[in-house]
Amino acid sequence: MADRSEKEKKRKRAKDGSSRPSKRVAIEGNKQIKISLLESDEWAPVIASAPGLTVPSSISLEPFVKQRRNAPLQRLGKSSKIAATELLLHSSEHPKLDYTAREEESGGSNTLLKHYIGVYDPESGKMEVMEARKVVVRGVVRAHQATTEDEAAVEFRDRRNDLGQTFGTKKAKKAIASVTENAIDQSEFSRDPSKASKPEKLTAANLAMLSSIAESAANAPTKEEQAQAMNRAKPRPKGVEGERDPLKIYNVENVVGLDTMKLIPVRQWVESIKAKKEIRTNSRFVAHRIQNHGSNTEKLKVLRYMLLLIDIYNTCRPSRFGRTLPKREELKKILGDMPEAVLEGVKRKFTNAGTMPKQMADSMIMYLCALAMIIDNTEVNMWDLKEDLKLETKDMALYFTEIGARIGPLGEAERRKLGLEKAAAAQHKVAKLKGPLSYPRVSGGRPQKMR
């Protein structure tokens, strides 16, 4: 315990400059030092500090002296000049800043504090001490300074306008309102009409500001880069950009995932198709295509995955924050013989803490559109999927457009195949996908009408 306490006491001195160093400058032998106090005249030494500011060494300050208003009587004595007068140093040599040094301790808690400067001569052993002034240097941007005359002119104009608005006639009030609406910055040419036709000369501060604006504008993204960033931010399925074959733009690996495809069971569907039994589902899109793809196991798995997404979407209850997932017992009924790992993957992708916000619901519909393109070989009749999701035709077309498809009317051959009249066929729209993949252009907002 004793050794431990000794180790805790032995700590290194912190290197923050707050404590005094242990070493001191040694003076030769035991030489006695004679200290003499010199009387300071009007021009005493100055101790200057510039907090948060770096003053160039080439700047020269011009001194000004004035009488103190409340000079402390306790300080009057040999150095009465410092106590009775106040020193101010000023410089305008810098192109952008004005430097001003003032004695800021007067009137404060350090009013009676004195500062001294000593000069030591090691040969004679004498030290001459003289009282000094303590000033603080401040810098002010010249472009932001306002003269007293400008402030008085603005104040007078505001008072006159207030009187006109309160007691003036309708004509006077209208004139004041017109001046206020068309007011510009009070620069030199606005005060002098003779200089109105001449361009105003830019100051150093204005040039520095313009150069910084030019640098930031050069690094700003272009409209094309902004559009690409916004397209990447949308929750749409991942397509192969630059692919010219439309059949390869959306594939099972990117939309569903190979791990999920391995878990999707379709054995019951395959056996029912071989036995020529009817397969009942809650989806028109899936029911009308099961028999056509009975020998294609991959597309049957895609249809089973689409059926799961459609059932989850329709079972979710609309709420204030989008849609709310049903209870776990109801989800198990929807799942059937599907592994729960598939359901958990759907929840991770399209839900957040048991809810499906609008953005995630839109994402699920766009994934269904991409899966429909895989099933129908990039040419989808939107009617069945629109009916499954209970959407309007224009809304369903918008989702297909977001994944890069183009919307067109139902072809004549397809109309005859379905046995539809022309009036009914007008409600059936076809979404076609062509390569290379092209997303809709991001709108920059509605242009304003010319007045």
Q: What is the DSSP string of 131-177?
A: EEEEEEEEEEEGGG---HHHHHHHHHHHHHHHHHHHH--HHHHHHHH
Three-class secondary structure of residue 390 per DSSP: coil
In this model, does residue 218 exceed pLDDT 90? no
pLDDT at position 56 is: 86
Higher pLDDT, 405 or 184: 405
d(CA 421, CA 11): 95
Stretch 281-298: mean pLDDT = 90
Higher pLDDT, 11 or 18: 11
Give the pLDDT band (50/70/90) at residue 440.
Answer: confident
Q: Which residues, at least 6 apart from 62, have a Cβ–Cβ distance to it below 8 Å?
A: 89, 90, 91
In this model, does residue 72 exceed pLDDT 60? no
d(CA 315, CA 125): 99
Contact indicator for 127, 35 with CB cutoff of 8 Å: yes
- Phi then psi for residue 263, to 5 deg, are -90, -15
In this model, does residue 447 exceed pLDDT 50? no
pLDDT digit string, tens, across residues 302-321 = 999 999 999 999 999 888 77
Give the pLDDT band (50/70/90) at residue 189.
Answer: very low
Stretch 219-243: mean pLDDT = 79
d(CA 339, CA 415): 40
Give the pLDDT band (50/70/90) at residue 25.
Answer: low
Rounded to an integer, what is the distance from CA 141 to the centroid of its chain? 29
Predicted model pTM: 0.53
pLDDT digit string, tens, across residues 321-360 = 788 988 888 888 888 888 999 999 999 999 988 899 999 9
pLDDT digit string, tens, across residues 379-415 = 999 999 999 999 999 999 999 999 999 999 988 888 8
- Give the pair of three-digit tokens for residue 323: 């849609």
Amino acid at 141: V
pLDDT at position 22 is: 58
Rounded to an integer, what is the distance from CA 40 to the centroid of its chain? 58
Task: Count other C-beta atoms under 10 Å from residue 286's C-beta.
Answer: 24
Amino acid at 337: D
- Give the pair of three-digit tokens for residue 97: 């800043």
pLDDT at position 97 is: 84
Stretch 192-197: mean pLDDT = 51
In this model, does residue 1 exceed pLDDT 90? no
d(CA 363, CA 283): 19
pLDDT at position 450 is: 40
- Give the pair of three-digit tokens for residue 47: 């101790």
In this model, does residue 190 exceed pLDDT 50? no
pLDDT at position 260 is: 93
In this model, does residue 55 exceed pLDDT 90? no
pLDDT at position 430 is: 93
Contact indicator for 405, 431 with CB cutoff of 8 Å: yes
- Phi then psi for residue 58, to 5 deg, are -80, -10
Higher pLDDT, 119 or 1: 119
- The percent of residues in the chain predicted with pLDDT above 90, rounded, is 27
Higher pLDDT, 328 or 142: 328
Higher pLDDT, 336 or 261: 261
In this model, does residue 78 exceed pLDDT 50? no
pLDDT at position 150 is: 60
Higher pLDDT, 216 or 242: 242
Match 């004035």 to its residue by tokens. 66
Stretch 136-161: mean pLDDT = 72
pLDDT at position 444 is: 53
Nearest alpha-carbon partner for 341 in 270, 409, 259 = 259
Q: Which helix (H) or strand (E) holds 381?
A: strand 379-381
Cα maximum dimension of the chain = 123
User: What one-character DSSP code corresponds to residue 417?
Assistant: H
Least confident of 77-91, 108-122, 246-260, 426-440: 77-91
pLDDT at position 17 is: 47
